[in-house]
Amino acid sequence: MRTMLALLVFALTLTCATSAQPPRDDHGNALAALGEVQTAVGAIVRIEDGNETGRIAYQGAARRALNAVNGALSYVDTMLDQRATPRWQPAVEGAKVNLLEAQENLKDAIAEHEMEDYQTDLTRTLASLALAVGRPSQDGVLGGLSGALANTDLAVPAGAIRVDGCSAPTRSPAYGVVAGRLVYVALPRAAAAAQIPLNLDVRSVTVHGGDIVLYTVHASACKRQRTREVAMTTRSVPPLYTATQAHAGKIVYARYCLQCHGADLQGTAGPAVAGTEFLKNAKFDGWTMSDVRTTVFLNMPFSNPGSLTPKQYADVMAFLLASSCYPAGATPFPQTVRASFASISIGPISGVHATNPKIGTCAVK
């Protein structure tokens, strides 16, 4: 247990920052949540290393830790209470799951009568808190709060300058972001040492004029993007479905997909599947039509993959393409694999006018 304590305290020392003002943005809420986790761990550390003994003292420590975990959950819930589907959402949702697990373990600890059972509950609590904190080197759902702060635009404080992460910085301090991913932080050379974000997972450092530029792992994705990037126009995107098929797919979507991906296709329990942000992410990740088709045909619906008929899957693909303003044609989206799909890139299309410009989707009637 002491090894777990040491590791978690060290991780929190690297990741936590405090503020005298209540957080008003997602970045501030994430740091505040980490601060509450630090408080919870501190309560456990003090009772383990202190001179207090007895059930009452240990219950008091567990209650203090539980209050802090409840506070962390309130900040996390505030972050997740929005219609958007930010890049950091899976990591923060993973942190919430582990905070809820810590919450239950602390409740069990408060109710225990035997010290051995109490120690077991606290060991489980620390393990859950360590996962909620996560690691700056880990992206996605396993990254926890630290991973989100190191790899996504959650790292950008309120009021900070955001710029295109795949272009050289022209100002500092500034955060280079692409499709919700943090690519670099540019800082003035004179003050760089004092301004480096605590959570940043730096993979390389360059000097650009009078600035220090700290690059994350996502800088390599920009290089890949530049080598394959080709401007997409309505003329270069082949018609891949029929309007009639898209209408049929809308019905299938409403029955099997809407619950997770939302009536506006911007995501609820699942991610966005059409529109501006979806297409930007697809372009950044280098997705092809083959990638998207495989995901839909083989992995959806999430609760029962592969349960629809080939026609239903093809119709849903038509609906998703139409919703992202891809052009319709005279040939339906195929029910079988096409080798040519591997060469069709997914991304924003120039020259189209979205029905809903705010989210970049086109209505399917």
pLDDT of 179-222, one tens digit each? Answer: 889 999 988 877 655 566 667 778 888 877 778 888 888 887 77
User: Domains in the chain, start-ordered, CATH in brackets?
Assistant: 2-155 (1.20.120), 162-228 (no CATH), 243-343 (1.10.760.10)
Q: Which of 179, 177, 153 is nearest to 346 (CA)?
A: 179
Rounded CA gap, 199 and 176, in Å? Answer: 16
- Per residue in 124-174, pLDDT (tens digit) is 999 999 999 998 888 777 889 999 999 999 999 988 899 988 887 888 889
- At residue 101, the pLDDT reads 94
Decide if 176 contacts 151 (C-beta within 8 A).
no
* Ranges under pLDDT 50 in the chain: 2-22, 226-235
Rounded CA gap, 362 and 274, in Å? Answer: 9
- At residue 208, the pLDDT reads 72
**Is the Cα torsion angle 218, 323, 234, 350 positive or negative in sign?**
negative
- At residue 10, the pLDDT reads 37
Query: Which pTM was predicted?
Result: 0.60
Report CA-CA distances (Å) from 115 to 77, 120, 122: 33, 9, 10
- At residue 4, the pLDDT reads 43
